[in-house]
Amino acid sequence: MQRAVAASAVGARMLSEIEEGSLEEILTSLRTNFTTLASDNFNDATHDTDPDHDHDVTTTTTSQKLVIAPTTTTKASSIKPRHFPIPFLNELVQRHFRATSTATLSITGRHHELLYLLVATLIAPPHCKTVAIVDFDGRFDPLRLLATLPFSSTSTGTPTGTNTSTRPLEPSDLDHVHILRPPRRSNVPLQTYLAGMEEYMLYAPHKSREREWWGSIVIGSSNYNNPTTAAAPAAAAQAQIQAQAQVAVTAGWQGWLRVDRAEVTTATGTGAWTFWSKSAEEARRGREGRQAAVEE
């Protein structure tokens, strides 16, 4: 009798220590922990200054694991900005996040050039990430990445093209850029495409299974800020949180970071060159100087 009572007490105590929760909550917790661990590993690799460390592609690839983006998170406060491998861009994103609590980098203007640089830097050594792109404009050309030199910096933070840890991209590197091109005038919510992209990145037999999924880039979508306009307010807010958890960068006609073409000055540096006050002969004579300024 006493044994039965003791066993009953032990069982009751064990049951009281068990926390109830849904499968979705467990999956969210696992995804968040994996993402945090991968972010810490990424930061450690970024700040590794050992000159004897070999950033071999095979070694880096096999040591990384595919990171699951926490797209099912239910808390906006748990969303943190990605770490960008370009220092000044990462500083802008962190500063904007501290001011607005918005983790997504929103680019407007001539965004393609910045996107080519960012993607090329992410998929090249020593980072060796994989990137998913949802391109509503259909203008992102992956072949342009082969002509883009990935960003590299010395210990002083100044850009350089001679860093041994960075090399020009090879055609095989493009296997780690996954592009989805939805119809331009699609009425399908953005969250539907993001869910499809997540399923593909996690379960499809692509060549990036051994790499870390850095995040998604959405180009040209007009419904990112309101992905489910026909849904209830609570469902729309939840869809927005899920989209922010997966999407690291948006590029379109609106954004808080504008990219413009640098002004091309004359060879004498007297000011920006304009054709409105120049004759055809004057423009022809200054052609070589303008071309030299563009190449610099």
Q: What's residue 106's pLDDT?
A: 94
Dihedral angle at the C-alpha atoms of 33, 176, 203, 38, nearest 10 degrees? Answer: -10
Q: What is the DSSP string of 65-120?
A: -PPPP-TT---GGG--PPPPSSHHHHHHHHHHHHHH---SEEEEESHHHHHHHHHH
Query: Does the reported pTM lie above 0.85?
Result: no
- Residues with pLDDT less than 70, the chain: 1-2, 5, 15-17, 19-78, 153-165, 222-244, 263-278, 294-296
Both tokens of 184, joined, read 């331009």
